[in-house]
Chain A
Amino acid sequence: MKSSLARGLATLGIATAISGTGVHVDVVAQEVRIEDSAVTLSSGADGRAELWLQLDNGSEQRVSFTDGAFLLNGEVLADYGADGDLVTEWRAFLREVAGADNETVETRMLGFGERLSEWSAEQSGAEGDVGRRLGRRLLEFLRDVLEDEALEVPATVSGPDGSTLAIAPGGVEFDELLGQLDLLRGSLRQLGAAAGEATDRLALIVHDDYAIEAGEIVPGHLALLDGELALGGSVQGNVLVLDGELVLLDGSRIDGDILQVGGDLTLVGEALTIVGEIVSDFSIEAAPTAVAEAPDARDAVVAVESRRGSGRNASRGPFRSFTRNLANATEELMGAVTAFIAFGVIGLLLVYFAQNRVEMVADTVRHEFARSFAMGLAAEVLFFPALLILAVLVITWPIVPFFVLATGLAMLAGYIAVAHGAGEMFAQSRYRYEWLERLRRSNSYYYVLSGLVLLLLPFAATGVLWLLGGTAGFVRGMVAFVATIGTWILMTAGFGSVLLTRAGSRSVVVDWTEGSASSFDEMVDTEVTVEETPADPTPDEEGSADA
């Protein structure tokens, strides 16, 4: 509708009046002649102020302010209001051109077109003043009405052959476009630099189909922007394929390289020569598994896109880095949670079926950590030699799987026992903070679970550190290293404790405070037989095997 308004005003030649304000308005006025005209002014309820024109192309135009609305040929273009300045100026303008003094006028005007075209900025007198005032008001009106909508006006570009090209505005960020143009400019600069001395000899093929026949020579570089180029002759330089299709025929020759940044390249025939290299690099959307083995190069059709100056920094924005770090953090946290669940289930089962043994092993780790670790380390060192001996001695072959399985179970049970011990230490500690005190419980199930949380906490921390991005890489690595080493130490100690206590069946804990043992041997060899009892479903106040 706004476009109709602009066209209507332009058609009427009111642009001539606007030009009287000295302000340039980009409205293209058609060259028309006014053959007849009439003015109607009424002071009634509708406050009609109408200008009727008959143009030399046979059309009629009727512009009016009626009842607060601005109409063109009876179509309401805009609501303006009955008492606005523009209406006042419009009525004054019509009175002036009609040569009437009254508010009510209905007259035909001869020679209106000539009078309208005679107005100019330099014109003085009442007519000029009226024209300028009206022009100013119209301009303000046009600005108000069209300001926000101007970009939505579809423009049409006419070609010499009568064809038209519609331009649909919107959808393209100008900065983005400029950025692409800068990129293109930079790429062309690089290409120009690469072209060396022959940059002044560049043939550009744009649109339509061309053929370079056999025997013809392009004395320089060639760029194909669109269309199809069938090359049977020679190119004494490089070829850049931006878009379109380049077909190399039998006998064709390219003295330089072919760089594809778009379009297609088809090699036809046996006797074509490319002295340089074919290089292409283009985006694809297909999954990588869709790639078959490379087809015959002669039939290759390669569409490519330039990818210069790329690198990790260039291709990865901060958002991508963040999402990647977030995914890594999630992955590691999920790993820690999964480990917790797996070890937790195993731990709960162990406590349920062998609570006393688990507590025995846990107590041994806590009170005889050094011995347990030394025992575990020795066992780990001797594991492979023992395995080799079992493997070499033919008669012991059947034992090998059980040996490996037993070792694995012992290490797992040791780790669970260490978690039990850690949870028990946590429960027996006193904390300054009330929320930590609330976490205190005292039964073996809780010990195992809370201990596992403590043991897996460093691994979860490495996950959280991912959120800090690359800057925390060193810290993350250190935490992961410490967590791994710490886990190995604890697992080794647990393993050793399992061995020392013969899977929790005897106590080797030395109570140094009692001083009742007369010798070290006596202390070490103190053996307590543990009877298996199912776990008490009610919480046990302390580890039952401490005694």
Chain B
Amino acid sequence: MRNEWLSRAGALTALIAASVGPIAAQDWRDFRAARQSADVESMQVELLYGAGRLFVKPSGSSFLYDARIRYDTERFQPLRGWTIEGDRGHLRLALTSVGDERGQATIRLEEWDLDFDFDDLRFRDDEAGELNLELHPDVPTDLRLEIGAAASRLDLGGLSLTSFELLTGASKTEVVFGDPNRERMSELVFKVGAAEFDASGLGNARFDRMEFVGAIGDVRLDFSGEWERSATAEIKMGVGELNLRVPREIGVRIERSSLLIALDAPGFTKVDRSYESENWNTAEIKLEIVLEAAFGAVEVERI
């Protein structure tokens, strides 16, 4: 009886091992879509990326865009569409869950109505794919990224972004404006879910208005960089810690509207409902921050 049990257990173990084996075997492919600078004066880029690692940076070549995706064909399929209206190009790039036939997926891409199966989220390095997107630094670009569960590094410095919007779910995101943005950015929007978010060099982004909406997580917003003009920032934070780093030469006023928040802003003076830096009235360039937070701690550093 015992031997029978043992043999059954052994058979079950072998069955499990055999069944797990093929699952571990994935079918990886590299997809690339690149286009040289066409006759476009500007472009709009929309990217949907479900899970994996994402890198965005300026192109070192004459390519208008150069996207390389490493993906598991068992779960994902790359889609891209390119249209030109007048002198403006429109790139749509997505890595979506497989399931649709390609024709249907193309239609959904055109309508930007794409699905991503939660089952397809992969957090292990050996299961997650990778997307590298390079954009032409000289072409004014409206960039919109929708990221699911991904580890992202976005080196946006040196690009010509006229607007940038980032929507991300459960992710670890690093946004870096290492060099000044070559265009005036009308709007800089970050909407993050449960995330670890770090944005640095935001002064180089040269934005007029920034909006940050975060649900849960640790957030660091570094406004260092080469400021050209005053700007506003609207920050809405759910639960978590928010660290704001602002250059000393920038005049800062924080209008606080929060529930249970611990604000640590040394050097700031409370005026009515707002906190003002000592150089608010004298600074040439000013950053006005509207802060809405529920629970957590906000720290403001002068750098």
Contacts of B16 in A (CB 8 A): 330
Select which of B36, B38, B101 is within 8 A of A311 by beta carbon: B101
Interface centre among A279, A280, A281, A330 (most CB of B within 10 A): A281
Given contacts A294-B134, A308-B102, contact A281 B29 (CB under 8 A): yes
User: How far is the CB of B158 from the nearest CB of chain A, in Å?
Assistant: 15
Given contacts A277-B33, A294-B68, A320-B22, contact A284 B28 (CB under 8 A): yes
| Contact between B35 and A297, CB atoms less than 8 A apart | no
| Contact between B102 and A297, CB atoms less than 8 A apart | no
Measured in the bound complex, the distance between the Cα atoms of B103 and A313 in whole Å is 14
Measured in the bound complex, the distance between the Cα atoms of B132 and A478 in whole Å is 40
Contacts of A270 in B (CB 8 A): 62
Contacts of B57 in A (CB 8 A): 293
Contacts of B72 in A (CB 8 A): 288
Indicate if A304 sits at the interface (CB-CB under 8 A).
yes
Measured in the bound complex, the distance between the Cα atoms of B13 and A203 in whole Å is 57
Indicate if A115 sits at the interface (CB-CB under 8 A).
no
Given contacts A283-B28, A310-B98, A316-B74, contact A288 B130 (CB under 8 A): yes
Indicate if B168 sits at the interface (CB-CB under 8 A).
no
| Contact between A281 and B23, CB atoms less than 8 A apart | no
Q: Mark A305-324, 1 if CB is under 8 A from B, else 0.
A: 10111111101100110011
Contacts of B99 in A (CB 8 A): 311-312
Given contacts A277-B33, A304-B32, A315-B27, contact A298 B77 (CB under 8 A): no
Indicate if B55 sits at the interface (CB-CB under 8 A).
yes
| Contact between A277 and B30, CB atoms less than 8 A apart | no
Q: Find residues 97-131 in chain B having any chain A CB closer than 8 Å to their own CB.
A: 97-102, 105, 125-130
Contacts of B66 in A (CB 8 A): 294, 297
Contacts of B212 in A (CB 8 A): none
Q: Mark A352-390, 1 if CB is under 8 A from B, else 0.
A: 000000000000000000000000000000000000100
| Contact between B61 and A275, CB atoms less than 8 A apart | no
Contacts of A109 in B (CB 8 A): none
Given contacts A296-B60, A330-B19, contact A307 B73 (CB under 8 A): yes
Select which of A297, A311, A312, A324 is within 8 A of B59 by beta carbon: A297
Indicate if A146 sits at the interface (CB-CB under 8 A).
no
Q: Find residues 265-293 in chain A having any chain B CB closer than 8 Å to their own CB.
A: 270, 273-289, 291, 293
| Contact between B78 and A281, CB atoms less than 8 A apart | yes
The chain A residue sitting closest to B127, CB to CB, is: A288
Measured in the bound complex, the distance between the Cα atoms of B71 and A282 in whole Å is 10
Q: Find residues 233-253 in chain B having any chain A CB closer than 8 Å to their own CB.
A: none
Q: Mark B10-36, 1 if CB is under 8 A from A, else 0.
A: 000001100110110001111111111
| Contact between B35 and A311, CB atoms less than 8 A apart | no
Indicate if B275 sits at the interface (CB-CB under 8 A).
no
Q: Mark B57-85, 1 if CB is under 8 A from A, else 0.
A: 10111110010101011100110001000
Indicate if A302 sits at the interface (CB-CB under 8 A).
yes
Contacts of A309 in B (CB 8 A): 101-102
Measured in the bound complex, the distance between the Cα atoms of B60 and A109 in whole Å is 87
Select which of B15, B22, B74, B134 is within 8 A of A297 by beta carbon: B134
Measured in the bound complex, the distance between the Cα atoms of B286 and A243 in whole Å is 59
The chain B residue sitting closest to A333, CB to CB, is: B16
| Contact between B61 and A277, CB atoms less than 8 A apart | no
Indicate if A409 sits at the interface (CB-CB under 8 A).
no
Contacts of A157 in B (CB 8 A): none
Measured in the bound complex, the distance between the Cα atoms of B57 and A316 in whole Å is 34
Q: Mark A89-105, 1 if CB is under 8 A from B, else 0.
A: 00000000000000000
Indicate if B9 sits at the interface (CB-CB under 8 A).
no
User: How far is the CB of B159 from the nearest CB of chain A, in Å?
Assistant: 15
Indicate if A326 sits at the interface (CB-CB under 8 A).
yes
The chain B residue sitting closest to A254, CB to CB, is: B36
Measured in the bound complex, the distance between the Cα atoms of B82 and A360 in whole Å is 69
Measured in the bound complex, the distance between the Cα atoms of B126 and A328 in whole Å is 19
Contacts of B82 in A (CB 8 A): 277
| Contact between A277 and B35, CB atoms less than 8 A apart | yes
Measured in the bound complex, the distance between the Cα atoms of B130 and A275 in whole Å is 27
| Contact between B32 and A279, CB atoms less than 8 A apart | yes
Indicate if A392 sits at the interface (CB-CB under 8 A).
yes
Indicate if A327 sits at the interface (CB-CB under 8 A).
yes
| Contact between A291 and B31, CB atoms less than 8 A apart | no
Contacts of B29 in A (CB 8 A): 281-284, 305, 307
Q: Find residues 37-61 in chain B having any chain A CB closer than 8 Å to their own CB.
A: 38, 52, 55, 57, 59-61
Contacts of B60 in A (CB 8 A): 296-297
The chain B residue sitting closest to A270, CB to CB, is: B62
| Contact between B28 and A288, CB atoms less than 8 A apart | yes
| Contact between A330 and B20, CB atoms less than 8 A apart | yes
Indicate if B303 sits at the interface (CB-CB under 8 A).
no
Measured in the bound complex, the distance between the Cα atoms of B28 and A324 in whole Å is 17
Measured in the bound complex, the distance between the Cα atoms of B127 and A305 in whole Å is 22
| Contact between A281 and B74, CB atoms less than 8 A apart | no
Contacts of B126 in A (CB 8 A): 287-289
Measured in the bound complex, the distance between the Cα atoms of B34 and A294 in whole Å is 12
The chain A residue sitting closest to B104, CB to CB, is: A311
User: How far is the CB of A50 from the nearest CB of chain B, in Å?
Assistant: 61
Given contacts A282-B30, A297-B61, A297-B134, contact A288 B129 (CB under 8 A): yes
Contacts of B129 in A (CB 8 A): 288
| Contact between B73 and A310, CB atoms less than 8 A apart | yes
Measured in the bound complex, the distance between the Cα atoms of B167 and A532 in whole Å is 57
| Contact between B61 and A298, CB atoms less than 8 A apart | yes
Indicate if B260 sits at the interface (CB-CB under 8 A).
yes
Given contacts A310-B73, A388-B260, contact A285 B28 (CB under 8 A): yes
Measured in the bound complex, the distance between the Cα atoms of B61 and A318 in whole Å is 45
| Contact between B23 and A324, CB atoms less than 8 A apart | yes
| Contact between A288 and B98, CB atoms less than 8 A apart | no
Measured in the bound complex, the distance between the Cα atoms of B77 and A131 in whole Å is 68
Q: Mark A47-72, 1 if CB is under 8 A from B, else 0.
A: 00000000000000000000000000
User: How far is the CB of B49 from the nearest CB of chain A, in Å?
Assistant: 14
The chain A residue sitting closest to B101, CB to CB, is: A311
User: How far is the CB of A460 from the nearest CB of chain B, in Å?
Assistant: 14
Measured in the bound complex, the distance between the Cα atoms of B100 and A324 in whole Å is 19
Given contacts A274-B36, A388-B260, contact A288 B19 (CB under 8 A): no
Contacts of B127 in A (CB 8 A): 288
Given contacts A275-B38, A296-B61, A330-B19, contact A286 B100 (CB under 8 A): no
| Contact between B32 and A310, CB atoms less than 8 A apart | no
| Contact between A288 and B125, CB atoms less than 8 A apart | yes
Given contacts A278-B32, A284-B28, contact A293 B132 (CB under 8 A): yes
| Contact between B55 and A293, CB atoms less than 8 A apart | yes
The chain A residue sitting closest to B35, CB to CB, is: A277
Measured in the bound complex, the distance between the Cα atoms of B134 and A39 in whole Å is 85
Measured in the bound complex, the distance between the Cα atoms of B72 and A81 in whole Å is 63
Known contacts A281-B31, A297-B34, A310-B73; 19 additional CB pairs below 8 A are: A275-B36, A277-B35, A278-B34, A284-B29, A288-B72, A288-B126, A288-B127, A289-B125, A296-B60, A300-B32, A307-B29, A308-B102, A311-B98, A311-B100, A319-B22, A323-B19, A326-B19, A327-B20, A388-B260
A sample of 13 cross-chain residue pairs with beta-carbon separation below 8 angstroms, ordered by A number, consists of: A283-B29, A284-B28, A287-B126, A289-B126, A294-B55, A297-B59, A297-B134, A302-B30, A302-B32, A307-B29, A313-B101, A330-B16, A330-B19
Listed from nearest, the 6 A-B pairs whose CB atoms lie closest are A294-B132, A312-B98, A326-B19, A278-B34, A297-B61, A281-B31
